[in-house]
Amino acid sequence: MAYKSLCAVKGVTANGVKEGKFGLALIRASGTAAGVFTANLARAAPIELMRKQIRKGKLDAVIANSGCANAYTGQRGYDDAVTMTEYAGSALGVDSSAVGVASTGVIGRYLDLPLIRRQCAEVALNLTSTPSAEDRTVRAIMTTDLQPKHALVKKEGFTIGGIAKGSGMIAPNMGTMLAFIYTDAEMGAKPLRETLKTATKRTFNRVVVDGDTSTNDIALCIATGESGKVRAAEFSAALEECCRSLAKQIAADGEGASKLLEVTVRGAPKEEAAAKVARVIIESPLVKTAVYGEDPNWGRVIAAAGRAGVRFDPNAASLWISDGNHKYPLVKSGEIIADLSKAKAAMHGNKVIFVLDLGAGKEEATAWGCDLTEKYVEINGRYTT
């Protein structure tokens, strides 16, 4: 079995367990740490705790549970999050203040601390740096995910590996996702923080499944430094590549999804303007349902772009559709040139790509999402029962 993610990084050991809906993962690695968190005002207890602990810029371990979000649980929830770090600290022989914590699952329920304590003790006994440990770890944090999400980027002199969970309640500013990314590059706390923020902005913050922003989103990056110093530009590009891989996997595994939807917007006055248009298109229910039905109703793409709040001339815009192998023009500088039979054929596979040129500048951005199916309603109509 080949390495797929974090255990390929020097200095990292991990393990996890899943019992029904309830899982627990432990990752052991000491190093410089940075984090990004949900923009939702209703932040979960572990997020409130981590926003404080990450200020030290160093972590020795991470504990994460699935099945209960420990969100909207007040002071008891915060105290329980602290207790989780104490369980991990005791089991691994590290200071609890240097333990990262994350939770995912149902909002408004308290943690089953006896279960977590037992699982933590069992998982801690078998931390390894094997490919199978990667898989156990990522499966421990899955909720409605159908697929485990791994990413591995190897460069000359350093490695970056990460795992993530995320399937529903996904929107810009992150969305019910946990990501744990490790590197053996040597990085200071401030440059690591800024690099992670930039990578998140261009990847995780451009994923939309359903437009809901979660209470528990967290992405942590820990640098063990065991491979020494690296060039900042090379590390930044590699981290963005790792995060992009995880982001696309989250989009493709959206709840009930049958197709990955990718939208690239070009010809924008600024990168953020391009990203804004791409996100509005990605989150449009009309676009998403048309993709599901393999209906080449490209007018929905133009209409969504027009309400994004970015100034451009619709009569100067151009639009293409692609399945990743073949690309067909739909509109050229405001003129309709679509071959609907070819456009429909481009929607038959598991990936649909739109490329929109606004004709208003030179910047571009890409966002990812998925189609909207009946299965999404089934999953979320019975999520807590």
CA gap 194, 333 in Å, rounded: 38
Strands 22-37 and 58-68: antiparallel
CA gap 152, 175 in Å, rounded: 22
Those residues with Cβ within 8 angstroms of residue 293's Cβ, 6 or more apart along the chain or in another chain? none
CA gap 99, 36 in Å, rounded: 16
CA gap 180, 222 in Å, rounded: 8
Among 345, 315, 314, smallest CA distance to 327 is for 345
Q: Does 215 qualify as catalytic in the annotation?
A: no
What long-range pairs does 338-341 form, CB within 8 A, spacing at least 24?
Answer: 338/296, 338/298, 340/296
Plot region of 194 (φ>0 → left; ψ -120 to 50 → alpha; else → beta):
alpha
Cβ burial 220-249 (10 Å sphere, 16+ → b, else e): bbbbbbbbeebeeeebbebbbebbbbbbbb
Q: Which residue has the tokens 């980027």?
A: 153
Selecting among 13, 176, 203, 373, the annotated active-site residue is 176
Those residues with Cβ within 8 angstroms of residue 177's Cβ, 6 or more apart along the chain or in another chain? 164, 165, 166, 170, 204, 214, 217, 218, 219, 250
Q: Which residue has the tokens 């050229």?
A: 332
Tell me which residues are annotated as active site: 176
